[in-house]
């Protein structure tokens, strides 16, 4: 294709992908398979990479992410982002309606909407394009999180249709659907991180992540529900929602107009029951006066609008009997107490188990065997014990005692100062830890040996064929053919049999062989070093370049790496101090795994910055931070994430965090501007 054809193809692909995004994420009616969509997106990414001059400012590829934001700039809201008055009482809704009647008169119409349990966001559009996304903050000003919000596919980067104002703001709620929440917590558990307590917390943490590519992987969603400001081309709030939907925004289909308080109560009752059927969390209902002129007449208090109120649902709680407490050991050795409960119906599901998290939770509840306990669903998903019915406690009920030895290998448990969890330190001899590490090693984001899933690792372990991940590379066809195991019971018709036949064995061995192509960053992640997740592994691999340099690094050097704090550095040092782990690296290296980054094909432009380290912070006029960091590397320099006595220069842009400047001045680190930096290169 010539350049004109490329430009036309990019424009056509962009428009087609926007349409498919709208059909899938807003209308919930996809008209194309996931595979075909990915092919279109990959083609667009490839063309934009080769011809960046034709990349549109609102290209659908922005949904994929990739930009990194170290400091979120504070932005003042054009219209204050107020909170709603809350109530748990129907009587207070009656009082609310009566106050409106006295001020406005009879015949007031209301709009009832779901109250999404997420993070409030304000989106500004100019000429139909997303320009800025700002969090609530303190209501007066919030953080500019535009780069991360662009990754949410239900938020249009370019509007559909016509009739929208030349510039306007629309507000809504960033949410994390249940399915995405469960996947994130599963991955965090595999990485040895604490799971998020609920989807709202996960959504809040996600939109403030520094790497937008990581935000894109969280699969956040967004419902829009309010256009602030005057002079809008509508007479009612309900009309504005319909218009927003026609422009491409995801607006809830469950909003309803109500003419009487009885209709409002009917809506509340319906959704108090039906909320458990939704694929995301709501924590109540919002009731608004529909007429925009009446809203203006009612006005605001210092904190909230007088024309709206939020009715909050009470968390559903049930009582059931504690049958026993068992203790589970995870991949990292953390021991988690789990309560076995007398089955009980809660929030639309039968609950049989609830996590007790750690020893401190058991102690705070003063839990006794046989207690009647109160159970809620944390974030409407995770069952948790929130209290004990002391009146129903059996006489002489023995207290639940947290174990002192591992339930699997009997090793005495240890607890690190400042941490809530107890750990089994027997990493190399505790069966669930060994199997957990092996399952982590073969997982998709690590070595991606998918042919070894579905319980096959357990069969290999039970037959004494694998104990360490290096053992996988010694497996032979003769060892594997004929292995089998049956799971479940034939009585309940859920029996499952796994057999290692010739084709299965061939796939396993091919998968193991293929994993040798994985890069150093994935191998490092696969090792399962505590607190070293996928992102941290990439940063370490990029910074040090090889396992030898990483192994030789001291605490201070590790601390200089972006996002590597005291906890991660201590864990890395501890892991490399174990002779068993060093032997594991030697075996894996001998098997053909990569323990150093591949040599870059890029040629250094100069050695101007050789031996120098830079911290790049703030917003720059002519370059992104990534471009500046790349330029530093192409001239022989090194980038670090935080200022220390070893830092040569702090390259400071606009809106740089004051702490970095303060620390640089204290340590005598030279602070240079973008112009200074360019002058150094030219010199």
Q: Is CATH 3.30.470.30 correct for 74-312?
A: yes
Whether the Cβ atoms of residue 643 and residue 678 lie closer than 8 Å to each other:
no
Q: What is the length of the chain?
A: 683
* Stated pTM of the model: 0.52
Contacts of 269 (CB under 8 A, 6+ apart): none
Residues of the chain with CATH 1.10.287.610: 3-64
* Top-level class of domain 3-64: mainly alpha
**Tokens 């690590």 — which residue?**
446
User: What does CATH list as the number for 613-682?
Assistant: 3.40.50.10190
Question: Can you give the pLDDT at residue 493?
Answer: 47
Active-site residue flag, 352: no
Report the candidate in 189, 665, 71, 222 with the shortest Cα–Cα distance to residue 439.
189
Whether the Cβ atoms of residue 242 and residue 256 lie closer than 8 Å to each other:
no
Which pair of tokens denotes residue 305? 């609008």
Helix axes 625-634, 674-682, angle to 10 degrees: 30
Question: Can you give the pLDDT at residue 28?
Answer: 61
DSSP state, 602?
P
List the chain residues with pLDDT less than 50.
379-380, 490, 492-493
Question: Can you give the pLDDT at residue 367?
Answer: 95
Fold entry, domain 520-590? DNA polymerase; domain 1 (1.10.150)
Residues of the chain with CATH 3.40.50.10190: 613-682
Neighbours of 550 (CB within 10 A): 21
d(C-alpha 124, C-alpha 130), whole Å: 6
Whether the Cβ atoms of residue 466 and residue 457 lie closer than 8 Å to each other:
yes
Q: Which of 49, 70, 115, 660 is catalytic?
A: 115
Fold entry, domain 317-423? OB fold (Dihydrolipoamide Acetyltransferase, E2P) (2.40.50)
* CA angle in degrees (0–180, nearest 5) for 477-480-485: 160
Question: Can you give the pLDDT at residue 562?
Answer: 67
Report the candidate in 69, 64, 65 with the shortest Cα–Cα distance to residue 641.
69
Whether the Cβ atoms of residue 127 and residue 158 lie closer than 8 Å to each other:
no
Whether the Cβ atoms of residue 547 and residue 585 lie closer than 8 Å to each other:
yes
Which pair of tokens denotes residue 533? 């997740």
Residues of the chain with CATH 2.40.50.140: 317-423
* Top-level class of domain 431-517: mainly alpha
What's the helix, strand, coil split of the chain in %, to 5?
Answer: 40, 20, 40
DSSP state, 452?
G
Question: Can you give the pLDDT at residue 73?
Answer: 84
Residues of the chain with CATH 1.10.150.20: 431-517, 520-590
């Amino acid at each position: 294709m010539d350049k004109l054809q490329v430009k036309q193809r990019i424009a056509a692909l962009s428009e087609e992908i926007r349409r498919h995004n709208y059909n899938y994420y807003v209308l919930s009616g996809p008209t194309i398979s996931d595979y075909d969509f990915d092919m279109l997106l990959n083609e667009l990414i490839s063309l934009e990479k080769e011809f960046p001059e034709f990349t549109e400012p609102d290209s659908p590829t922005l949904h994929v992410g990739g930009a990194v934001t170290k400091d979120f700039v504070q932005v003042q809201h054009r219209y204050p982002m107020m909170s709603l008055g809350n109530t748990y009482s129907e009587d207070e809704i009656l009082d609310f309606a009566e106050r409106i009647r006295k001020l406005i008169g009879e015949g007031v119409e209301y709009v009832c909407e779901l109250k999404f349990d997420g993070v409030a966001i304000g989106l500004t559009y100019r000429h139909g394009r997303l320009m800025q996304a700002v969090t609530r903050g303190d209501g007066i000003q919030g953080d500019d999180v535009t780069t991360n919000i662009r990754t949410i596919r239900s938020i249009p980067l370019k509007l559909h249709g016509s009739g929208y104002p030349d510039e306007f703001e629309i507000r809504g709620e960033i949410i994390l659907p249940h399915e995405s929440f469960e996947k994130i917590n599963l991955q965090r558990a595999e990485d040895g991180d604490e799971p998020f307590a609920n989807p709202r917390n996960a959504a809040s943490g996600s939109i403030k992540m520094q790497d937008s590519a990581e935000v894109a992987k969280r699969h956040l969603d967004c419902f829009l529900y309010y256009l602030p400001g005057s002079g809008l081309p509508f007479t009612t709030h309900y009309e504005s929602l319909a218009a927003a939907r026609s422009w491409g925004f995801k607006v809830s289909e469950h909003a309803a107009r109500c003419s009487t308080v009885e209709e409002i109560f009917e809506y509340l009752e319906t959704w108090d029951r039906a909320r458990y059927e939704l694929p995301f969390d709501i924590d109540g209902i919002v009731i608004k006066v529909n007429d925009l002129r009446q809203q203006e007449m009612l006005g605001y208090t210092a904190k909230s609008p007088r024309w709206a109120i939020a009715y909050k649902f009470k968390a559903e709680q049930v009582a059931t009997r504690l049958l026993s407490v068992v203790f589970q050991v995870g991949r990292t050795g953390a021991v988690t107490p789990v309560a076995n409960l007398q089955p009980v119906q809660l929030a639309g599901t039968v609950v049989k188990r609830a996590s007790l998290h750690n020893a401190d939770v058991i102690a705070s509840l003063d839990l006794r065997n046989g207690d009647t306990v109160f159970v809620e669903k944390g974030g409407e998903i995770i069952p948790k014990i929130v209290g004990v019915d002391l009146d129903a406690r059996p006489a002489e009920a023995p207290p639940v005692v947290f174990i002192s030895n591992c339930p699997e290998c009997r090793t005495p448990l240890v607890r690190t100062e400042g941490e809530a969890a107890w750990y089994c330190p027997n990493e190399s001899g505790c069966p669930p830890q060994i199997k957990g590490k092996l399952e982590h090693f073969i997982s998709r984001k690590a070595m991606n040996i998918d042919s070894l899933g579905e319980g096959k690792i357990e069969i290999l372990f039970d037959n004494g064929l694998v104990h360490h991940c290096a053992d996988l590379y010694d497996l032979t066809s003769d060892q594997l053919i004929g292995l089998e195991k049956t799971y479940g019971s034939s009585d309940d018709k859920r029996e499952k049999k796994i057999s290692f036949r010739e084709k299965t064995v061939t796939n396993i061995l091919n998968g193991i062989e293929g994993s040798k192509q994985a890069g150093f960053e994935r191998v490092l992640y696969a090792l399962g070093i505590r607190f070293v997740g996928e992102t941290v592994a990439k940063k370490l691999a990029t910074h040090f370049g090889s396992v030898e340099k990483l192994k030789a690094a001291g605490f201070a050097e590790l601390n200089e790496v972006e996002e590597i704090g005291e906890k991660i550095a201590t864990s890395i040092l501890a892991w490399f101090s174990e002779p068993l782990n060093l032997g594991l690296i030697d075996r894996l290296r001998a098997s053909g795994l990569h323990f150093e980054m591949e040599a870059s094909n890029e040629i250094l432009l100069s050695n101007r910055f050789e031996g120098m380290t830079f911290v790049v912070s703030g917003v720059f006029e002519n370059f992104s931070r990534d471009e500046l960091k790349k330029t530093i590397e192409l001239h022989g320099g090194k980038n670090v994430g935080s200022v220390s006595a070893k830092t040569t220069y702090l390259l400071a842009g606009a809106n740089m965090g004051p702490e970095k400047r303060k620390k640089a001045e204290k340590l005598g680190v030279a602070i240079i501007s973008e112009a200074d930096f360019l002058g150094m290169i030219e010199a």
